[in-house]
Structures are given as C-alpha cells and as structure tokens.
Amino acid sequence: MTAVLPALTDTRELVLPALRAAVNRLDDRTRLVAAYHLGWCDEHGVPIEANGGKAVRPALALLAAEAAGGPRESAVPGAVAVELVHNFSLVHDDLMDRDLERRHRATVWALWGDATAVLAGDAMLSLAHEVLADSRSPFLAEASAVLATATRELIRGQVQDLAFERRDDVGLTECVDMASAKTGALLGASAAIGAVLAGADTTTVRGLATYGEQVGLAFQLVDDLLGIWGRPEVTGKPVASDLRSRKKTLPITWAIQNGGDDGTDLALWLRRDAALEPDDHELRKVAGLVERAGGRTWARDEAWRRVTRAAEALAPLRLRDDCRRRLLDLATFVVERDA
C-alpha cells in the first residue's frame, strides 16, 4: 500500500482490539492459523509487523454508523464481523482456487493443508455471528440478516466464478453479476451493518447499502485493472498476474465482447493451451491487445460511473455532512489506489 486514507488508520485502532479478542476465543491451533492469515504473526506464532490489508470493510461500517448519526463505537461488532466474513472467504477461496500466495505469504492451505484451511475459514465465519450476538445490540436481528444475506451472495458469486472457469462464452452481464456478488455484496453489507447498528431508518440503510455495493464494483474493476497494468513493486503481484492465469476479468470480458478484431485475438489467446506459460514479453503484447480493444478505458470509466452511482445513492439521505464527504473520499480512494 502506498496510499492509505486517514480514515482507515483510525479504523484499525478501534477495530483491531475487538478483532483480536474475538480470534482469541478460538482453540490454540485455529487461533494461530487465523492470526497468521490476518498478518499478525508468522506460521510459528511469532508476532510480525503487520500490514494488515486495507481494512476497507471495517472502515465503511464505522463511517456509515457515524454518517447515520450514531457513535462509531456502535458499529465495532459489525466492523469485526464483516472483516471476519471477508477473511473466511479469502481462506476458502485460496483453497478452492489453489492459490499459493496472498500478499507475498504462503496461503493457509499451502502451508497447513486443506483441512486446516476449511476449519479456519469455518471458524471465522461462525465467529462473525458470535461477535454480533455478543454485542447484544437491539438491532442484532437486522445486522445478522444483513451479514448472512451478504455471505449467501459471496457464495453464489464464488459458485459462478468456478463455473465460469469451465466456460468460454461468459458475457459481460453475467460477469458483472458475479463481481457484484463476490465484491459488491459484502461492501454493501459493511455500510449497511454500520447504519443498522447505529439505529438508522430503512431508507438510510438501503441507501448506504447501494453506495457500498457500487463502491464494491468500482473496487473490483480497479482490482482487475491492477491485475493487468499494476506496477509489481507496488501491488506485490507479478507483471500482468491476471493475464498469466488467463483470468476472464471484467475488462477482458468487455474487450472480447466489444473490441472487434483485437477482442477476437484476445479470445483466441485465452483459449490457447494453458499449460504454455507466457513470458513477460507475450503478456505485455496481450495487455496491449486488451488496451487497443478498449477494455482498459471501459473499466476505468465504469469504475468512475460506479462511484458516481454511489454518490447518487447518498444524495437523498440525511447524513452528517463531514461523513458524506469522507464516504465520497473513500469511494474516490478505491478508484485512485495503485495497490
């Protein structure tokens, strides 16, 4: 991370102690695995200087609570819960996708095997609801429903993602639907849960949910752009990592569908024998193909269109002015980030 929004640093101070307390409830083994995955220690349990990820979801939860007129503190259980659900899905997705590394570190299944990854993910998902229940919030039912619905969407998105890998006719609409489920739903839930726990009315909760969903889609579009054109020294990923794994991301799907001859060439390249590992020269050529086909410009524009829709969703709501400003800054940050 080069750029960190100030809001995100504040979030960590409020949320991290509660997240640690929650993880401490787990049995010794699962606690170690979760702490490792969360970047708090190495695989032997020795504490390390944590980068800790972007913590966008907890930041959204706290900010939404404040925007709705509540204290940030009321949203802490929700912030912990969405971060746990996010990390449950990362651990299980890494296993399903057989990804060996995340943020320069071995993934849980790669280090400890499949069973440990299954159990650590399960534990974090269950812990998310335990934290919510223990909050004894008068708005628990709605908060828990928001979290569970988003988890159902996450799962639906991953089911689609895995099915798409076996198809070469996936259209943009399906692809956007999948990204909405995999990324939009939990960011929407993060904003919604913060507002719910602050006692906001239904209109405010729905508006903030839409804001979060749109920011989530912008987030995914930028992730897809960074997966092709991100600077390896900043993202920590290899050059054109998504092209290397022949991932059919949003800009690529758009380029194939709308990019004329360049799009057709791109589709042909993606269908080629995946066993042939492309070199950096070839990857740069393919990235050029996506760019000429218009995929890069479309994705960038689409990310900004989503940010605009997020802003629109906030417009009719009665929110604290300084918080509205920070919500918009957060949306902008999501598009402008370079890692």
Closest CA to 278 of 244, 247, 246: 244
How far is it, in rounded angstroms, from Cα 88 to Cα 80? 12
Task: Assign 3-state DSSP to the chain and report helix, strand, coil percentages, each to 5.
Answer: 75, 0, 25
Contact flag: residue 170 with its own copies (CB under 8 A): no
Which one among 133, 270, 311, 339 touches its own copies, defined by CB under 8 A?
133
Minimal distance in Å, beta carbon 35 to its own copies? 15
Binding residues for its own copies, total number by CB under 8 A: 41
Residue matched to tokens 């629109």: 312
Contact flag: residue 155 with its own copies (CB under 8 A): yes
What does each C-alpha distance from 130 to 77, 84, 127, 175, 279 come to in angstroms?
10, 11, 5, 33, 47
Give 57 or 129: the residue with its C-beta nearer to its own copies.
129
Contact flag: residue 130 with its own copies (CB under 8 A): yes
CB count in 10 Å sphere of residue 276 = 8
How far is it, in rounded angstroms, from Cα 301 to Cα 314? 20
Query: What is the pattern of x (binds its own copies, CB under 8 A) and - over residues 275-314?
Result: ----------------------------------------
Contacting its own copies within 208-247 (CB under 8 A):
none
**47: β partners:** 41
Which one among 53, 58, 77, 121 touches its own copies, defined by CB under 8 A?
121
Contacting its own copies within 27-56 (CB under 8 A):
27, 29-30
Give 50 or 141: the residue with its C-beta nearer to its own copies.
141
Give 151 or 214: the residue with its C-beta nearer to its own copies.
151
What does each C-alpha distance from 19 to 122, 132, 332 come to in angstroms?
16, 12, 27
Give 147 or 266: the residue with its C-beta nearer to its own copies.
147
Contact flag: residue 183 with its own copies (CB under 8 A): no
Contacting its own copies within 97-116 (CB under 8 A):
114-115
How far is it, in rounded angstroms, from Cα 266 to Cα 253? 10
What does each C-alpha distance from 184 to 109, 181, 237, 280, 290 come to in angstroms?
26, 6, 23, 32, 24
Minimal distance in Å, beta carbon 294 to its own copies? 32
How far is it, in rounded angstroms, from Cα 6 to Cα 14? 13
Minimal distance in Å, beta carbon 194 to its own copies? 17
Minimal distance in Å, beta carbon 111 to its own copies? 15
83 Cβ contact partners less than 8 Å away, ≥ 6 residues apart: 15, 19, 55, 57, 58
Closest CA to 95 of 112, 74, 78: 112
Give 151 or 249: the residue with its C-beta nearer to its own copies.
151
Instruction: Please report, as ranges, the residues that interact with its own copies according to CB under 8 A.
Output: 25-27, 29-30, 88, 92, 95-96, 114-115, 118-119, 121-123, 125-127, 129-130, 132-134, 136, 140-142, 144-145, 147-149, 151-152, 155-156, 158-159, 162-163
